[in-house]
Amino acid sequence: MQLNKTLLASTLALLSLNAHGAAFQLGEHSASGLGRAFAGEAAIAEDASVLARNPALMSEFTSNQVSLMATYVKPDVSLKGTGAPAYADASRLDDSSIAPSAIIPAGYMIMPINEQFAFGFGAFSNFGLSTEFADDYVAGQLAGETEIVTVNMNASLSYKINQQFAIGGGLNYVYADAKIVRHFGTSPLSVPAQTEAARLEGDDYGLGWNLGVSYEPSEGHRFGLHYRSETDIKFAGEYSNQLPAQIGGLQGQSLPGRVEITLPAMAEFSATHQLDQTIAIHYSLMWTEWSSFDKLEAFVPGRDAPVFHKQENFSNSWRYAIGADYQLNADTKLRAGIAYDKTPADENHMSISIPDTNRLWFSVGANHQFSDASSLDLGVSILRGVNRRFDEADNLGQVWQFESEGNAYLLAVQYNMAF
């Protein structure tokens, strides 16, 4: 049993090296919001997706509303090797695409109960990541396959206090699934590079809450504030590796394991101002409490204390956005926005599994009204990241050096229906 605990702890020590820069927040909750870089999201009541950013806004609807959307994400994340141990070739660290494309779906429904109360339900994601490296990647201990998928099922209720104020809150059931695979990579030892050094798969759910308020001092001008609580996730699953017994490996044997993380809390302040019949401006300030993601701990059955503990170095982050709408004609609205998204990763604790960076968003979008009861939204964003240079050590203590470049392209479509 002690051998099993030691192996699990040693493997998670290796895996934890890949969590330092992994800011894995998702904000793609709507195509309407994407078109203005999500500026004003906690204050604008356009469609049922408001449930994700401020449930108090549900009080603005007088009929049932449904919004269904999907966002296609095309990352452009590349690595260049700038240094390697003496036994390896730094040029073999180069990889032009480490993050696969993905589709992020979401759906929402809002149902007014009476003039004061409204109920809503949404299914969306606030966190997720995926990076993939070849099985024989030279620095395989640092990154192989890393995937976290979360689904947030959020039931909310709003109450309209008067013509100026409304409040809303909700309960969140968050399901999370994680998979981490590492290979041994090139080393001085006689172990093939593609040998699976660690495989950890597990899932779990957590519970959280959110609360929002909206204030409309005059017609066409509204402010919103929304808070979403942190969620504790305890991944329970299996751990295995293919390492030979001579170096303490399991040779494919599986062991039970559990890893605990905290998905951070978020708060957003937004405002929207309708300047005239055609032009509106919006702005937002979002805070994410990444400092709550302060450690990685591993547990095995039969022991209350963690068999592995590692302190992280994330800091709280901010996102700033400003955008505008232009009513082109009775049926078509155009949108545009720009945002700056600051990474929570410490520049001294970067990782190639998710080489995170500060990002600048450039967004455009449009809404077309088919009838009083149905409309379609489109949104497009280009994300430009800052190039980073950093070092990372593997489980053998060898240092690898990299330069990373991270950009992305987003396309979202959304259908809205009232009934």
194: closest CA among 247, 123, 250, 242?
242
Q: Is the pLDDT of residue 302 over 80?
A: no
The mean-pLDDT minimum among 262-266, 267-271, 291-295, 337-341 falls in 291-295
CA 113 to CA 83: how far, in whole Å? 63
Structure confidence at residue 21 (pLDDT): 29
Structure confidence at residue 87 (pLDDT): 87
Q: The domain that contains 302 carries what CATH number? A: 2.40.160.60
* Residue 160 bridge partners (DSSP): 166
pLDDT tens-digit series, residues 206-239: 999 999 999 999 999 999 999 999 998 888 887 7
Contact status, residue 330 vs residue 278, Cβ threshold 8 Å: no
Contact status, residue 267 vs residue 54, Cβ threshold 8 Å: no
CA 239 to CA 179: how far, in whole Å? 10
CA atoms within 13 A on the CB side of 186: 15
Q: How confident is the model at residue 354 (pLDDT cuts 50, 70, 90)?
A: low
182: closest CA among 351, 376, 338, 45?
351
Q: Which two tokens stand for residue 87?
A: 């036994």
Q: Is the pLDDT of residue 23 over 90?
A: no
pLDDT tens-digit series, residues 391-410: 888 777 888 888 888 889 99
CA 38 to CA 42: how far, in whole Å? 9
Domain span at residue 68? Answer: 2-418
> What is the pTM assigned to this prediction?
0.84
CA 271 to CA 142: how far, in whole Å? 43
User: Which residues of 53-144 form beta strands (DSSP E)?
Assistant: 65-83, 102-112, 117-124, 128-132
Question: Cβ of 244: how many Cβ atoms within 10 Å?
Answer: 14
Q: Is the pLDDT of residue 3 over 70?
A: no
Classified as helix, coil or strand, 405 is: strand
Q: Is the pLDDT of residue 310 over 80?
A: no
Contact status, residue 392 vs residue 400, Cβ threshold 8 Å: yes
- Reading phi first (left if > 0) and then psi (alpha if -120 to 50, else beta), residue 115 is in alpha
Structure confidence at residue 18 (pLDDT): 34
Classified as helix, coil or strand, 57 is: helix
CA 375 to CA 368: how far, in whole Å? 6
User: How many structural domains does the chain have?
Assistant: 1
335: closest CA among 14, 30, 62?
30
CA–centroid distance for 189 within its chain: 37
